Structure 1
Amino acid sequence: MSRLRQALATLVALAVAALAFVAWAPVPAVDDREAAAPLAPDAAQAARGAQLALAGNCAGCHTERGGAPYAGGRGIETPFGTVVAGNLTPDPATGLGRWTAGEFRRALQHGVSRDGRLLVPAFPYTSFTQVTRDDADALWAHLRSLPPVQQAKRPHALRWPYGSDLALRVWRALYFRPGTTPADPAQSAEWNRGAYLVRGLGHCEACHARRDALGGIRGAAALQGGRLPQGWYAPSLTDATEAGVADWPIDEVVRLLRTGLSEHGTAQGPMAEVVVRSTQHLAEADLRAVAVYLRSLPVTTSRPGRSGARDPQVMARGQALYADLCRGCHGDEGQGAPGVYPALAGSRMVTMADTTNLLRVITQGGFAPATAANPRPYGMPPFDLGHADLAALMTWLRATWGHDASPVSEVQVLTAR
Structure 2
Amino acid sequence: MRYSLTLSLPLLIIATSTSCTQEQDELLARGTYLMEGILACGNCHTPKSADAVPIADMRFAGAFVIEEPGVKAYASNITMDDETGIGTWSDAEIIRGIRDGIRPDGTLIGPPMPSPFYRNISDNDMRAIVAYMRNVDPVSNIVPASEYGIPLPDAWGPPVGEVPDVSRDDPLAYSTYFTVALGHCTECHTPMVEGMHDFTRTNEGGRVFENIFDLGFTVISANVSPHPELGIGTWTDEEIKRAITQGISRDGREHLPAMAYPYYATITDEDLDAIIVYLRSLPPMPAD
Name which structure has the greater RCO, CA cutoff 8 Å, separation 6+. Answer: 2
One-letter amino acid matched to 1:65:
K
Are 2:223 and 1:223 aligned?
Answer: no
Equivalent pairs, count: 250
One-letter amino acid matched to 1:292:
V
- Partner residue in 1 for 2:119: 129
Worse-matched range after superposition: 63-72 or 294-303:
294-303
Cα shift at 1:194: 1.8
Cα deviation digits, residues 157-209 of structure 1 (max 9, x gap)? 444xx3xxxx3236x57xx5775998999x95333222112211111111111
Q: How does 1:105-254 map to 2 (within 5 A)?
A: 105-159=95-149, 162=150, 167-169=151-153, 172=155, 176=157, 189-212=170-193, 214-230=194-210, 231-238=218-225, 239-245=227-233, 247-254=234-241
CA distance in 1, matches of 2:72, 2:285: 33
Q: Tell me if the contact between 1:240 and 1:300 (Cα under 8 Å) persists in the aligned partners.
A: no
Partner secondary structure for residue 197 of structure 1: helix
Q: Identity across aligned pairs (percent)?
A: 26
Q: CA RMSD in A?
A: 2.8
Q: Tell me if the contact between 1:72 and 1:153 (Cα under 8 Å) persists in the aligned partners.
A: yes
CA distance in 2, matches of 1:45, 1:55: 16
Cα deviation digits, residues 249-308 of structure 1 (max 9, x gap)? 323322322222354554523xx43243321121111111101211221224679xxxxx
Q: Tell me if the contact between 1:241 and 1:301 (Cα under 8 Å) persists in the aligned partners.
A: no
Partner secondary structure for residue 104 of structure 1: helix
Q: How does 1:304-319 map to 2 (within 5 A)?
A: none
Cα deviation digits, residues 75-129 of structure 1 (max 9, x gap)? 2222223211111111111111111111111111111011111111211101111
CA distance in 1, matches of 2:229, 2:158: 31
CA distance in 1, matches of 2:96, 2:280: 32
Are 2:71 and 1:86 aligned?
Answer: no
Pick closer, same or farther for the CA change 1:183–1:301 going to 2, 3 Å.
Answer: farther
Are 2:261 and 1:285 aligned?
Answer: no
Pick closer, same or farther for the CA change 1:158–1:275 going to 2, 3 Å.
Answer: closer
Partner secondary structure for residue 55 of structure 1: coil
CA distance in 2, matches of 1:183, 1:93: 34
Cα deviation digits, residues 326-363 of structure 1 (max 9, x gap)? xxxxxxxxxxxxxxxxxxxxxxxxxxxxxxxxxxxxxx
Q: 1:50 aligns with which of 32, 42, 49?
A: 32
Partner secondary structure for residue 78 of structure 2: coil
Compute the TM-score of the two structures, normalised by the length of structure 2: 0.76
CA distance in 2, matches of 1:183, 1:55: 16
CA distance in 2, matches of 1:200, 1:283: 17
CA distance in 2, matches of 1:252, 1:234: 17
Q: Tell me if the contact between 2:219 and 2:258 (Cα under 8 Å) persists in the aligned partners.
A: no
Partner secondary structure for residue 168 of structure 1: coil
The structure having more radius of gyration, on CA atoms, is 1
Partner secondary structure for residue 248 of structure 1: coil
Cα shift at 1:152: 1.8
Cα shift at 1:226: 2.5
CA distance in 1, matches of 2:261, 2:71: 27
Q: Tell me if the contact between 2:124 and 2:165 (Cα under 8 Å) persists in the aligned partners.
A: no
CA distance in 1, matches of 2:230, 2:178: 21
Q: Tell me if the contact between 1:91 and 1:149 (Cα under 8 Å) persists in the aligned partners.
A: yes
Partner secondary structure for residue 128 of structure 2: helix
CA distance in 2, matches of 1:80, 1:277: 31
CA distance in 1, matches of 2:239, 2:158: 34
Q: How does 1:337-352 map to 2 (within 5 A)?
A: none
Partner secondary structure for residue 83 of structure 1: strand
Cα shift at 1:135: 0.9
CA distance in 2, matches of 1:177, 1:297: 27
CA distance in 2, matches of 1:147, 1:183: 29
